[in-house]
Chains A and B, each alone.
Chain A
Amino acid sequence: MRRSHLLGLGFMTPAILLTLALFIIPVVLTGVFSFTNMSTSTGITGGAYEINPRSIRLMKDAGLREGLIGDLEENLYKIDAAGLAQVEKDFGKKLAEEMKGAYDGQTFKDRRELVRAIKDLKSRPRSSRDLNKAADLFQKSILNVRYDDESAFLNGLGNLGITLQDGEQAELTRFAYTGWVWTTENFSNMAAMPSTYRAAFNTVLYIAFTLTFNIVFGVFLAVATFYLPSAAASTFRTIWFLPRILPHVLYVILWKWFTWDTGFLSQVLEPFGVAPRNWMMDTEINAWVSIVLINGFVGASLGMILFSSAIKAIPSSMLYASEVDGASRLQQVRYIILPQLRWPIMFTSIYQTLSLLTSFDYIYLATDGGPGSSTTVWALYAFKTALNNYGGNLQYGFGAALALVLVGIGILASVLYLRLFDFKSMNAAPRIEQ
């Protein structure tokens, strides 16, 4: 290894580590997580073993043996040391010793059976209330008891005298496990859910309209400001560039103020007999128009900047020549300027398609995907599924599966994007051979 190799790798190390940890590994893990059922209830690190009403329901749905489910649901009564100690405390040593002698280690299926057994003893309590109370001290149930690992869980089952038939053990532990497990269900669910298709459709709609707006306005702004004196041009450019740097939260608030029923539009239109209404949210169409405008007013500025510098690169002699030849302004734009923008337009389109595909923060802040889910694009859908679900149970696994689709599209598009570059010349060897 030469010294400059070391220097080069040393210079790359911080970038590589950071990219690896928070870029490459997340890509891989998105794939990994998408094959799990991770959610708030399963946790993300690991789980415990517990039979609870939910798992009982699942077992019933899965058609497990009735008897076993009955055993699990049942309260059992088992004579053990802990129970006996309690009896000694509450009812005296005599009863405790008598019970220990007669029934130690025995299991009773229900309270009645145990009470009947206690009644057979000499030092039994008199009232039936006390009898019940004494019996209750031995009540045991697997329900809602957490076991940290599988063997403790099976031990617990054994202690309660719940017997498992062949093959039931694996199934039971599976249902009892509260942590996450590997699954492909995310993808089959995805294919089965209508909301998936709605989100996909919304995404296409969103990209198509916003991109068109961005490019058309970008070209228009670049061309229009090109014909203005530089002070005026830079004023307009600043007006249009500001949304790009304004905090997203504020920018969307401004739009809400502009469009909501207590806001600007309603107030201006009121004297004309238009009832105040929420222009942003009252219909699906309006919500869509808002989304496209909110994103478009930000996105157009990228095109504006890139196209402006492309237009500036046109030799002015070419423009003068066209004017001498008698071209009108529209003709000049059509035949001289637009052809020069072909490459930047293509570049911007691909770049913005990729970022629109995955951007959702303006939509999230503005309509939150509504009304209904009419403006929920794929990325927002994934985000809400995994990280922002008011229902409380965040489905990380399913969200990751949704995100994985975008990651896949992103990788494909990035490969295409790589082709846009003259990689061979970029890859030319450094000229100092040290």
Chain B
Amino acid sequence: MRILIDNFTKTFGTTTVIRDMTLDIESGEMLALLGPSGCGKSTTLFAVCGIHRMNGGRLLFGDRDVTTVSSQDRNVGVVFQNYALYPHMNVFENISFPLKIRKESKADIDAKVREMAKLVHIEDLMERKPAQLSGGQQQRVALARALIRKPDVLLLDEPLANLDAKLRLEMRSEIRRIQQETGITAILVTHDQVEAMSMCDRIAIMNKGQIVQLSSPSEMYNEPASAFVAGFMGNPPISFLDGTVEGSSLRLDQSSIVLPLPESSRPASPASRVKLGVRPEYFQPENPDKVEGKISFIEIQGRETLYDVTLENGAVLRSIQSSGPLHKLGDTVRWGVDHSRVLAFDESGARL
């Protein structure tokens, strides 16, 4: 089902946390609301499920305006960060609770719960209490409970945050599989860009109550609309260099280093200030535009090695290389920047 958040405004007391936000989620799509804590993504989620009232704007599920409909009548499934399973009920009772509230017949409930348990692979756990389940199993039960009454939209609030690293990988693909098998429209709230990129069709990245960019994961990574988005996407993160434009090049502050600007993003006025974003994979020994610096930090990640190179003006460029650690701390290196892949931003952080 298509979900439309139209001109949504939310205030707490006198502070407006979200102003005139509009977001159109296509039917069957899985969309990530990504942003740092306090950006308003959870507030948006709570507004969609009806826990929070909207102070302005509309919310549409398909053609149905649900702006003032209560949570109980909204038909939204939610998976909470801590799963919020009912501790005194066993798995079966947890999953069947929404159906019991609707007073469905026992046979119906039984059949639906079995089917759902099969979908999320927890058929053997029906008699257990939540406390006897692992994190991943609890997650599956929470999914089953959210999906059991065929909601119009599935909301996932940081669903992987409470899992350890290995389970996180497993559940990432499991959630995606279940979402695709059921064809349900889903909204994933997360602060982890890896989660957002790996699980979702599109990402809406939020900052200070605004959606700053809405696009597919790869587009968001390669063509960020602002320095904020560029800084948020990618791990290890992008490094920024500040400088002043000189013709078609950029002179870094307090240094003799001059780097060519990408052709597509020359600023209109000469001598303007520009922030250059260089991703670690585009700062490599073999690239043409050489920059000299001293290795100030090495992190060995096994398959790859991460270097921090401090330039003469104190700015830091990061490089990730697939070879083993060939350099030592304190080595002076001359590596090159791939200027066609460099991202340029103006002073306000907007992409040039």
Q: Is the interface of A mostly helix, strand, loop or mixed?
A: loop
Within 300-341 of A, Cβ neighbours of B (below 8 Å) are at none
Scan residues 403-434 of chain A and give those whose CB is less than 8 A from a CB of chain B.
431-434
Residues of A within 8 A of B71 (CB): 432, 434
Query: For the complex, what is the distance from the CA of A434 to the CA of B46, rounded to whole Å?
Result: 12
Q: How far is the CA of A431 from the CA of B80 in the complex (A)?
A: 14
User: Counting CB contacts under 8 A, is B180 at the interface?
Assistant: no
User: What residue of chain B has the Cβ atom nearest to residue A431's Cβ?
Assistant: B51
**Interface bits B54-79 vs A (CB < 8 Å: 1, else 0):** 00000000000000001100000000
Chain B 223-238, CB-CB to A under 8 Å as 1, else 0, gives 0000000000000000
Chain B 65-101, CB within 8 Å of chain A: the 1/0 string?
Answer: 0000011000000000000000000000000000000
Complex Cα distance, B53 from A434, in Å, reads 8
Q: Which of B23-66 contact A (CB under 8 A)?
A: 51-53
Tell me how far the C-beta of B101 lies from the nearest C-beta in chain A, rounded to whole angstroms: 16
Name the A residues within 8 Å of B53 (CB-CB): 433
Q: Which residues of chain B come closer than 8 Å to A434, judged between CB atoms?
A: 70-71
Q: How far is the CA of A432 from the CA of B47 in the complex (A)?
A: 10
Collect the chain B residues with CB atoms within 8 Å of residue A431's CB: 51
Closest to A434 in B: B70
In the complex, what residues of B have CB within 8 A of residue A432's CB?
51, 71
Task: Output the least CB separation between B218 and chain A (Å).
Answer: 37
CA distance A432 to B51 in the complex (A): 5
Interfacial residues of chain B within 182-226, with CB under 8 A of chain A in the complex:
none
Contacts of B70 in A (CB 8 A): 434
Given the complex, which residues of A lie within 8 Å of B51, measured CB to CB? 431-433
Contacts of A433 in B (CB 8 A): 51-53
Closest A residue to B47 by beta carbon equals A433
Bitwise, B313-324 to A at CB < 8 A (1) or not (0) is 000000000000
Minimal Cβ-Cβ distance residue in A for B70: A434
Specify which of A431, A432, A433 lies most central, judged by the most chain B CB atoms within 10 Å of its CB. A433
Bound Cα distance A433, B50 (Å): 8
The closest CB in chain A to the CB of B71 belongs to A434
CA A434 – CA B51 in complex, angstroms? 7
User: Which residue of chain A has the shortest Cβ distance to B52 in the bound complex?
Assistant: A433
- What residues of chain A lie closer than 8 Å to B52, measured between beta carbons? 433
- Docked Cα-Cα span, A433 to B54, in Å, equals 10
A109-B53 Cα distance, complex, nearest whole Å: 90
CA distance A433 to B52 in the complex (A): 5
The distance from the CB of B217 to the nearest CB of chain A, in whole angstroms, is 31
How far apart are B273's CB and chain A's nearest CB, in angstroms?
A: 43
Interchain CA distance A433-B47 in the complex, whole Å: 10
Q: Which residue of A lies closest to B12 (CB)?
A: A429
Closest A residue to B13 using CB positions: A429
CA distance A431 to B49 in the complex (A): 13
How many angstroms between the C-alpha atoms of A432 and B71 in the bound complex? Answer: 10
A362 to chain B, nearest CB (A): 42
CB distance from B291 to the nearest CB of A (A): 48
A57: shortest Cβ distance to chain B, in Å?
A: 69
Chain B, Cβ-Cβ closest to A3: B70
- Give the docked Cα–Cα distance between A433 and B53 (Å): 6
A432 CB to nearest chain B CB (Å): 5
A405→B175 CA distance, assembly (Å): 67
A2 to chain B, nearest CB (A): 10
Tell me which residues from 231 to 257 in chain B have a Cβ below 8 Å from any Cβ of chain A.
Answer: none
Cβ distance A274 to chain B, nearest Cβ, rounded Å = 63
CA distance A368 to B53 in the complex (A): 62
Report the minimal beta-carbon distance from A399 to chain B, rounded to whole angstroms: 48
Of all chain B residues, the one with the shortest Cβ separation from A4 is B70
- Say how far A427's CB is from chain B's closest CB, in angstroms: 12
- Bound-state CA distance A434–B47 (Å) is 12
State how many angstroms separate the Cβ of B8 from the closest Cβ of chain A. 14
How distant is the Cα of A20 from the Cα of B25 in the complex, in angstroms? 53
Closest CB-CB distance, A268 to chain B, in whole Å? 56
Q: In the bound complex, how far is the Cα of B71 from the Cα of A433, in angstroms?
A: 10
- Distance of A120 Cα from B174 Cα, bound (Å): 128
Which residue of chain B lies nearest to A432 when distances are taken between CB atoms in the complex? B51
Which A201-218 residues sit within 8 Å CB-CB of chain B?
none
In the bound complex, what is the Cα–Cα distance between A433 and B51 (angstroms)? 6
Q: How far is the CB of B54 from chain A (nearest CB, A)?
A: 10
Kindly state the separation between the CA atoms of A426 and B291 in the bound complex, as whole angstroms: 57
Residue in A closest to B54 when the chains form the complex, CB atoms: A433
* CB of B43, distance to nearest CB on chain A (Å): 11
- Give, as a whole number of angstroms, the nearest-CB distance from A323 to chain B: 34
* Apart from A432-B51, A433-B51, A433-B52: 5 A-B pairs, beta carbons within 8 A: A431-B51, A432-B71, A433-B53, A434-B70, A434-B71
A-contacting residues of B (Cβ < 8 Å)? 51-53, 70-71
The 8 closest A-B pairs by CB, nearest first: A433-B53, A433-B52, A432-B51, A434-B70, A433-B51, A434-B71, A431-B51, A432-B71
8 sampled A-B residue pairs with Cβ under 8 A: A431-B51, A432-B51, A432-B71, A433-B51, A433-B52, A433-B53, A434-B70, A434-B71
